[in-house]
Structure 1
């Protein structure tokens, strides 16, 4: 076992693979643009937007969320543990926030979720994305980032972390509201109320978008910004479709409520 860890350590003692980092960063941005263009009229087929015709293979929601999210938790942690570079507090702090989000998503959220089964193809695509993005963010921060020990005191790092945790709090609280909308046995959709749901239909999505833009500020890196833009491109439109779903289903849906940004859109 010790020899295995030594081998992993030697493997992870690497220089910055700048070309690979640049390719993955461009890939994130390109995937966001492609998603916007291909999902203008229809959303990704999971949750309330899932179409089961023709029949598709599905995976229970809890298992699907765990499998697709766990790579983004494990890979950065493994890179941190096996990295032989000197520890830089600022880098470990911001990379730790990334891992914290995915710990909450992998361990807590997946155990509490009550959603519909996931299409197998959606789960596999999500897992591949988390593998690539987790590797990108972890490798860049540990082996490419110019941040030093003083970065943790920089106003950009501190402001970004505050924004990240505000977004995370919004996201977790909004998920709590959604989980408790229906009593056991109920299947009908209800109008979410409380928190930022008083102002937007996609409060949980808004929270996650805020998280990743805070992460981008805290890391001051292009790969993190690309991830934030991808998140906006991926779940921003989903908030719009949720908003339209509520408006069509409930005639008394609050007029003041917007899709994603309070009072704006």
Structure 2
């Protein structure tokens, strides 16, 4: 995941924004398609799960890519892998939650998990969007040099944006309680937790004045 590729083909410049848009697009379009064609017959909870999923990817596909500043570029093979993952995952989430009853019987535990899951998802999304905004503002002068992020959960962890996204999908899994939802939450955690640690270590190597008490991924823990 973190191999150094000095001669990798990079997608850079303004094309980076469109590459991000394209790679994330299947995760929005496929579930949205299943939501639209099944909206009349879908149980309310199934429709709500798909709406939350699409809400995240409206931001990730239509808003986030066009706000990011000039970066170092993205390796082409990473773009293709992300496109493949988003296509498969978008299909899994859309197909399953449009064709299977999530909750066959409504119990008090169902209501409890729905409230906890939805609240966790929203909190994670707020953390994620806020953290992305903080990172973007570090480059608002148009320069690509790196700076130490401050504010929000960055006061406590180096990977605040990664933490927020993991919290989002954990909440999504608690709400849906389906195999695709749990698989997505688990894969997100396995992907982003190591990246948070990698970034944390890089910050310490790059900046002598990096806050010593700031953790990598979970506030006050690791």
TM-score (norm 2): 0.92
Q: Structure 2 CA distance, aligned partners of 1:65 and 1:216? A: 25
Are 2:119 and 1:162 aligned? yes
Partner of 1:130: 86
Deviations 1:89-129 (A, max 9, x none): 11111111000001100001011011332222111111110
CA RMSD, Structure 1 to Structure 2 (Å):
2.0
How far 1:149 sits from its partner (Å)? 8.7
Partner of 2:151: 194
Q: Structure 2 CA distance, aligned partners of 1:239 and 1:127? A: 22
The 5-angstrom pairing of residues 105-116 of structure 1 reads 105-114=60-69, 115-116=71-72
SS of match in other structure, 1:211: helix
Q: Structure 2 CA distance, aligned partners of 1:90 and 1:151? A: 13
Q: Structure 2 CA distance, aligned partners of 1:250 and 1:134? A: 39
Partner of 2:19: 64
Partner of residue 29 from structure 2, selected from 53, 74, 79: 74
Verify the 8 A CA contact 1:61 1:116 in the aligned structure 2: no
How far 1:63 sits from its partner (Å)? 0.9
Q: Structure 1 CA distance, aligned partners of 2:6 and 2:143? A: 24
SS of match in other structure, 2:7: coil
The higher relative CO (CA closer than 8 Å, separation ≥ 6) is in 1
Q: Structure 1 CA distance, aligned partners of 2:141 and 2:149? A: 16
Q: Structure 2 CA distance, aligned partners of 1:183 and 1:67? A: 24
- Structure number with greater Rg is 1
Are 2:6 and 1:53 aligned? yes
4+ residue runs over 6 A deviation: none
Q: Structure 2 CA distance, aligned partners of 1:146 and 1:164? A: 17
Partner of 2:169: 212
SS of match in other structure, 2:49: helix
Q: Structure 2 CA distance, aligned partners of 1:183 and 1:137? A: 36
Q: Structure 2 CA distance, aligned partners of 1:243 and 1:221? A: 33
